[in-house]
A = this chain, B = another copy of it.
Amino acid sequence: MPARVEKTISIGTLSDRTGVAVSALRYYETQNLLFPERNSGGQRRFLRADIRRVSFILIAQTFGFSIAQIKEQLDRLPQGRTPTKRDWSRISTHFKSHLDEKIAALESMRDKLDGCIGCGCLSLQSCALYNPADKAATKGTGPRYLMGDRSQDI
């Protein structure tokens, strides 16, 4: 007889199935990415659909999205029923556009760098790299603005 298929899974099983540490899964719950129920003993019980949900989190992270951004995407999934492939497909499309933006921003920077390599400026006020608009492509706190040399410097 095959082991019977449980309706819900434990945190350990979800960890095994996704490769995500138990501590990370609990952390995701605190960040409202997962909403496990509890059994009578207070232990978390996840749905099988949560395996896909966690996989989405993993993939989105490899694409450079923050937990907060991933939560926004997951919030678009239907409440109260297991998401269908169509639902997942819809939000994949949504984050593909973010990805396209990121790539475009990086390419724009690369092109500017191409232009700058020849002159070796890298810090001149007139340098194309002096463009705060592109900063959106990066994450983290980062620098606030750039300012270059004036004529007599260096």
Contact = CB atoms under 8 A, between A and B. Distances in A.
A61 interface: yes
Given A99-B106, A154-B51, A113 B92 contact: yes
Q: Chain A binding site: helix, strand, loop or mixed by DSSP?
A: helix
A31 B17 CA distance: 40
A92 B109 contact: no
A109 B153 contact: no
A38 interface: no
Interface residues of A, number: 63
Interface string A15-45: 0011110000000000000000000000000
Nearest to A143: B58
Interface of A: 5, 17-20, 48-49, 51-52, 55-59, 61-64, 82, 84-89, 92-93, 95-96, 99-100, 102-103, 106-107, 109-110, 113-114, 116-123, 129, 134-135, 137-138, 142-149, 152-154
